[in-house]
Each structure stands twice: as structure tokens, then as C-alpha cells.
Amino acid sequence: MEFLDKLVLPQSLEHLKLLHYLSGMVLFMFVPFMGMLIGGLWMSLYYKSKAVRSNNPIYLMYANDIIEHASLTKSAGVILGLVPVLGVIMTYTQILHTVQNSIILYFFLSLVMFIPGVIFTYTYRYSFAFASLFDNLKDSIHISEDDSKKTALEKYNTLGQKTFKMKNKAGKWGLFFLLSGLFFFSAGITLLTSQEAWGSHTGLLSVFTNIHIWVRWFLFLVLSFVVSGGYLLFIYFYWEGGIEITDPTYKTIVSKSLPKITLVFSLLLPLFIFLSVTRYSGQAYNSNVFLFLFISVSVLFAVYHFLYDMLKYEHVKTSLWVFVLVLASTFSLIVAEESALSGFSHKHAMILGQNFDLSVAELKKTTGAAGAVDPVAIFNTKCLACHAFDRKVVGPPYKETLPKYEGDVTKLVEFIKNPYKIDPAYPIMPNQGLKPQEAVAIAKYIMEEYKKK
């Protein structure tokens, strides 16, 4: 993906920090939705297969309802499932600018796999409606026994069989492509904080033999069942008063299966979180990583309590807390991952920041703008509203504050760049967002003007 790297413009250190926040927000959208889609599709296929084996139409209805709720709408598949991956590619391309590796390639491959996966998944979802339509048409045609009706019935039988085959194939192919896309996405996320992956291109075969990538893939897979289970519990039993289920058998299946599935996979989640953390390179570990991992795992214990309560006492209204806490655990896990990447890539970000400053300085030289800082303009626009030399405005007069900086302009510059509270009688000075050379210029200017007064 070197052509993408060539399209990247140099970024300042502040912009690189912003990119980490943006990538975190993108993952906040992508991970829960893709988890719902994969977990929901897997459960739907399982209960559809169970319906065929047991010849029980209730399981088929359950399979239909699961995929209908888990996939939200057609537009959600694009907006929450595909666009975020494109956003990840763009943000990480800038964060990894000048780094020679294959990480972006794996994110691109995940997008290539997710596209047909989403298409097949929604084809599978709507094939249930097609099958129901053909069944209704078949029943209406069967009323008459004349030849024209028989011919129509045969055609509809053929179309119905094709629809049934499409439903089977679309669901399985959808799951295959989604899991394949998830694997390559896991590879990209894993290699982001891998020392061995930075500065070298990893072959495609080595990805399939990397145990850390498989661990991360299983982590996402387990998380998919937890998120989809929590979401379906929320939809069935809480959202807008819950879904009214008149069939007692269907209600029993839902109230027993969903809490059990969610509980089993949520119990596995801390294990895979721990295994995925152990593969971080040394620079990736920082206090934020441990803090948010602790929050993520701690929240799961509350989830266990509510799920046990649902299974033991059938308190289904606690499904709201299950879903909210599952999302909180997921978001904490994402923040921990982004914190690890931020710590691991800090040195590289500093290099990119220096390159940006050099490119800006070079641009100023070529345009004749070097050193064109006007301290008077800065004083009039930034300082004059709150400060005067001989009287109090909002802040204290300069004649009271500047004497301690005589002979130490550097200290004044640092205060201007990062102000902090000194005198409790005055409010803290807002950070003016000045560039280093602007802070130096205004510090020298007010010191010179103060001495003239």
C-alpha cells in the first residue's frame, strides 16, 4: 500500500494525537456493529440448521428474528460495517507514514472480505422474506387444480427451492467472508503494536502462523457473541417495552438461550483479553492501558451478575444493564488498544512531528515567510483584552508579574505556552495556542515594553 503512503501529507504532532482519537471513534462504531453482525449471523445459521434437523418452525422463526434484529438496516451495513474500515485505513496510513510494513495491506484485505460478507449477510436476511412470500403464493395457487394453476405451482416450487438454496448458501458465504475479514482486521490491529512488524514487510503466510493474530481473532469472535447476545436481550426484553411473544415455547427458547450464550462467551472474554495483552511490545504498556483493561474486565463481573439473575429468576428487564455494561466493556477495551498504540508509536510520532516542523520551515524559506512573526499583532489580539502594564483588567498588571522573569525569558515563554494558576485572586490564563516562535516573540516584546514603562 505504498501508493497510499505517497498521498499522505506531513502531519504535526497535535494532528497525530487527533488521529488517535478519530481512530478510536471509528472503532467505537465498527466493533460493536460487526460483532452484532457476525454473532447474529452465526446464531441465526445455527437455529436455522436446528429447525431443519428437528422440523420445528419455531427455531426457523427464531433464526429469522435474530438476523433481522442483529443486522439493523441495509444502510447500517455500509455506514457502520464498511465505512469505518475505510476510515481505519486512512487514519492508520497517516499514523504509520514512512514506516515500511504490510499493516495497511491487511486492513485493505479485511475491507475486501467485508464487502461480499455484508452483501451475502443481507441477502440471507431478506431470503427469509422471499421464502415466506413463495409459501403464501404456493398456498393460494394450490386452491385450484386446473392445468394452468398446476404449471404455475411447479414454477413457484422451482423458485421456492432456489430461494431456499440461496438462503443456505448466502448465509454460509456471508459468515465465511465476515470471519475472513475479521481475521485480516485482527492481523492489522495486532501488528500495530508489534516491534517485529514495524520496518519490515510480513509475508501473507506468516500471518496465518502468527499465534498472536489468532488470539486476537478469537478475542474479537468471543466479543461478537457477547455484544450480539447483549443487544438481542435488550431488543427482546427492554427496547420499547420489549417484543410481545405470544408463543410460550418461543418465549422459553429466547429467555433461556440468549442469556446462556452471552454468559458463556463473556466468561471466556477475560481469558482472551489477558492473552492478547501479553503480546504487546514494551513501549506499548502505559498506565492508561492497564486502567482501561481493568475497567473492561471489572465491568464484566457486573454483567455476570445480571445474566445469572436472568437465568435464575427470569428478571429479563435487567437486559438493559447487560447491554449497557457490555458496550462499556467493549469501549474500554478499544481505549486500551488505542492507548497501547499511542505509547508504542510515540517515538515515530515525534519524528513525524519534527519532519512536519522542518517542512513548514522550508516552506517559509521558499515563500519568504520565515521569521515573519508580529508580536504587536499577537499582543493586540491575544493579550490586550485581559492585561495592561500598569492596571488590573482581567489578569494582574504586568508591572506586578514580569519582574520575576527578568533574566529568565525562557521561563516566561514556557508559562505562555502552558499557563497554570499562580495567584488565587485571579483566574487561570487560558492557553492561547501560540506556536513556539510566537510565544518567544510575545515574551520578548512584553518584557521590552515593560522596561520602557
Whole-prediction pTM value?
A: 0.73
pLDDT digits (tens, 9 = 90+) for 222-265: 999 999 999 999 999 998 888 888 888 998 999 999 999 999 99
Q: Does residue 336 carry a pLDDT above 60?
A: yes
Q: Does residue 196 carry a pLDDT above 80?
A: no
Number of structural domains the chain divides into: 2
Residue 94 placed within a domain: yes
Residue 358 placed within a domain: no
Residue 308 placed within a domain: yes
Average pLDDT, the chain: 84
Q: Does residue 349 carry a pLDDT above 80?
A: no
Pairwise CA distance, residues 202 & 62, whole Å: 43
pLDDT at 197: 60
Q: Could you say which of 319, 353, 387 is where a domain stops? A: 353
Residues 283 and 347: beta-carbon distance below 8 Å: yes
7, 86, 110, 208 from 3: Cα distances, Å:
7, 15, 18, 25
List the end-to-end C-alpha distance of the chain, in Å, as a whole number. Answer: 61
Q: Are residues 48 and 154 in the same domain?
A: yes
Pairwise CA distance, residues 166 & 174, whole Å: 11
Residue 425 placed within a domain: yes
Side chain identity at residue 35, one-letter code: G
Task: Say what percent of the chain tops pLDDT 90.
Answer: 39
Q: Are residues 270 and 182 in the same domain?
A: yes
pLDDT digits (tens, 9 = 90+) for 264-320: 999 999 999 999 888 776 777 888 889 999 999 999 999 999 999 998 888 888 899
Mean per-residue pLDDT for 410-420? 87
Q: Are residues 66 and 167 in the same domain?
A: yes
pLDDT at 140: 54
Q: Are residues 102 and 251 in the same domain?
A: yes
CATH number of the domain encompassing residue 405: 1.10.760.10
Using pLDDT thresholds of 50, 70 and 90, give the confidence band for residue 39: very high
Using pLDDT thresholds of 50, 70 and 90, give the confidence band for residue 13: confident
Range of the domain at 278: 2-353
Mean per-residue pLDDT for 33-54? 93
Q: Are residues 166 and 249 in the same domain?
A: yes
Residue 360 placed within a domain: no
Q: Does residue 143 carry a pLDDT above 50?
A: no
Q: Are residues 302 and 188 in the same domain?
A: yes
